[in-house]
Chain A
Amino acid sequence: MRYLYLSFSLIFSLPVFAGLFRAQSETLNSFRRNEQFRVESPTYEFVSTSYVTEKRDVEINCDFSLFTDPTSNSNNRASLYIFDARFEAVPDRLSVRVGRSFDMINTIGASSVDMVSAELSLFSRQLKLGGFVGVERALEAFDSDLKSNVSGVRADFHTDEALPLFVGTKFMNRTNPSNGNSTENLVEVTGRKPIASAWGPELMIDSVSDANTSNLNRFEVGVDVYPTIMTFSKFRFMTYDVPARSGIEQPIFSIFSTGRLYEGRFQLERKLNSSLIASVSTFYDEYQLLPTERTHGTGAEVEARFAADPGLNFNTVLYYFDSYGGKVVGVRMGGQKALSKANEYYGLLDVTHYEKITSSKREAYTCEVGWSRILGHAFKLTVGGQASSNNILKDDFRTLARLNYLYWGER
């Protein structure tokens, strides 16, 4: 083992491996009462490391977590989210990735996949062809044996201009061995094009279809416009219909909707000055609640974000939602203030008023204050306390402690 460590140290000190090694650790602990009024103290440890060379021809990533709670009967857990390596099999041409990855570029949907993937770059990386094969872990049952076999191909192209056109297409097959080898074939097409004209519009389109059933799972089209350098607006239209299917996991959408959903979204954001950004956003959804009935939902958010030197941040959000499930209105405020280079304090407040069809009118309050201190060069300790009141726990007090460690090593 010592010779392995010595070899590792010597090899990776060579100039050809010049690069960046980052390691982060986050330890979280809370002391609180649960809904059965029993004391619990969950503790999480999140560790992530990454190494990438200056030429970006070698990359190694690792991310895992540990959980324990000595005060309760909860089982200890360890979860490995990412453990992969990427290298240039043919420099500037063919790249290969192996291991457990979170790969939004190759896969359709965000999940952790044990995979082997390859990417071929042509025409100065304007055209990229990729493929992968792997095993996808079930999203919510991460540590269980529920897995799907996945494979796919993709092709991306972008033009070589100041405002490039991007077109990408992916095909992914998902087979569920635990469900009679049922298969799903998904096709995704994505496009984006900024246009050089007044208001600088950027057009986007993204669609996912099920090739087996010819169902259009999701189709989204939109435009971002920039009337001034300080202002932008976003318009989106989306249709969505992912029915219950014979797979391992069922979409939540299928609980509430029996048919197609249509959504329109709008956002207006303006940078009022160098310290203050304000945004207003709203949406309207309509979908098939029952075979003979459609329903709708709507909501709005107004947000303001203030940041000033030295070390003062403040954020306020007013929110409103309305659906057949009820109405919600609330405000969230949070801020951080640096006392010195190594000390800062923070506070947040969340007050919500909701009227649900299943219960009477209620309020929920959450208030949290805390203090952070940088220890040495690499550690940051945060301690805080949270007080809440809601219909489950009228007086809920809990502590929060977080210890962050960051190692940034360049060679």
Chain B
Amino acid sequence: MKTFIGIWFILTAQPTFALSQMTAGFDHQAHLSKVFKPNKIDCMHCHNFNMDQKEKRISFSVAATKSILNRPVKEICHECHRSDLSQYKEAPKACFTCHKGMEDIKKIKPVNHESISWRNSHSLEAKVKGESCNDCHAVSQCSKCHLRRNDIDLQNHPKNYRFYHSVQARAQPQRCDACHTKSYCADCHLGVK
């Protein structure tokens, strides 16, 4: 029995690795029963409809010839799911709620991540909006560059850095302090390692 439950638990999740075909999901029926009806939100809040409240009849507005929605999709979804207002606190805020799978999360990567300077300048963003990093990244992803040490797959320095780091250390002595201390130098230069 426990084996069955364990297998069921694993199979109902969705393991992916760069090959998924996920889409940003929207469950209209769930929203209708949990959100729209209890809060008396009518169709026109999102749709370009004209609704006759007495006769409960819908007719399309002129704007509907261009779009069935009266605002961009992203704006409608984020009105609740990305809002800090307390009236929307029950709405799930995690991006993966709608953007299912790693490939879909990659599609909403912020534009500033494509910048060549992002790797060296994301520290300010982390201080100012650190919580937004967790929209897509697990905290453990920070440790890959900031905490882990391995001499096989160098994350932060190029392969030849060992041979010219003394020049750069004398050009920008403060840069080393971000990750290293004096004891790190002693490991090699004083023969500790």
B62 at the interface (CB under 8 A from A): no
Partner of A13, one of B9, B126, B152: B9
Known: A56-B94, A140-B183. A354 touches B163 (CB 8 A): yes
Docked CA distance A282–B166 (Å): 18
| B170 A323 Cβ-Cβ under 8 A | yes
Docked CA distance A190–B123 (Å): 11
Interface residues of A in 1-59 (CB under 8 A from B): 2, 5-6, 9-10, 12-13, 18-22, 24, 28-30, 42, 44, 46, 48-50, 52-56, 59
A150 at the interface (CB under 8 A from B): no
Number of residue pairs A-B, CB distance < 8 angstroms: 302
| B114 A254 Cβ-Cβ under 8 A | no
Task: Tell me which residues across on chain A come within 8 A of B124, comparing CB atoms.
Answer: 190, 192, 204, 206
Known: A102-B147, A125-B84. A377 touches B167 (CB 8 A): no
| A28 B12 Cβ-Cβ under 8 A | no
Known: A81-B148, A234-B117. A378 touches B163 (CB 8 A): no
Residues of B in contact (CB 8 Å), total 80
Task: Tell me which residues across on chain B come within 8 A of A388, comparing CB atoms.
Answer: 159
Q: Mark B132-152, 1 if CB is under 8 A from A, else 0.
A: 001000111111101111111
| A251 B171 Cβ-Cβ under 8 A | no
B6 at the interface (CB under 8 A from A): yes
A171 at the interface (CB under 8 A from B): no
Q: Mark B84-108, 1 if CB is under 8 A from A, else 0.
A: 1110011011101100111000000
Known: A48-B140, A56-B94, A350-B158. A303 touches B166 (CB 8 A): no
A337 at the interface (CB under 8 A from B): no
Docked CA distance A295–B94 (Å): 50
A250 at the interface (CB under 8 A from B): yes
Docked CA distance A104–B125 (Å): 11
| B173 A256 Cβ-Cβ under 8 A | yes
| B148 A65 Cβ-Cβ under 8 A | yes
Known: A2-B2, A140-B181, A299-B171. A105 touches B94 (CB 8 A): no
| A61 B15 Cβ-Cβ under 8 A | no
| B6 A9 Cβ-Cβ under 8 A | yes
Task: Tell me which residues across on chain B come within 8 A of A277, comparing CB atoms.
Answer: 114-116
Docked CA distance A272–B80 (Å): 37
Most buried by A among B90, B158, B177: B177
A255 at the interface (CB under 8 A from B): yes
Docked CA distance A350–B160 (Å): 7
| A252 B94 Cβ-Cβ under 8 A | no
Q: Could you jot down 29 A-B contacts, CB within 8 Å?
A: A9-B5, A9-B6, A24-B140, A52-B134, A55-B94, A61-B139, A65-B150, A82-B139, A105-B126, A110-B146, A240-B174, A249-B183, A250-B183, A252-B176, A323-B171, A348-B159, A350-B159, A362-B163, A364-B163, A365-B160, A374-B18, A377-B15, A390-B163, A391-B163, A406-B16, A406-B17, A408-B102, A410-B96, A410-B100
Binding site for A on B (CB under 8 A): 2, 5-6, 9-10, 12-19, 84-86, 89-90, 92-94, 96-97, 100-102, 114-117, 121, 123-124, 126-131, 134, 138-144, 146-153, 158-160, 163-164, 166-174, 176-185, 187
15 new A-B contacts, CB < 8 A, other than A250-B181, A408-B15, are: A30-B152, A44-B152, A54-B94, A92-B86, A104-B123, A104-B130, A142-B147, A192-B128, A204-B124, A232-B115, A256-B173, A297-B172, A362-B163, A408-B101, A408-B102
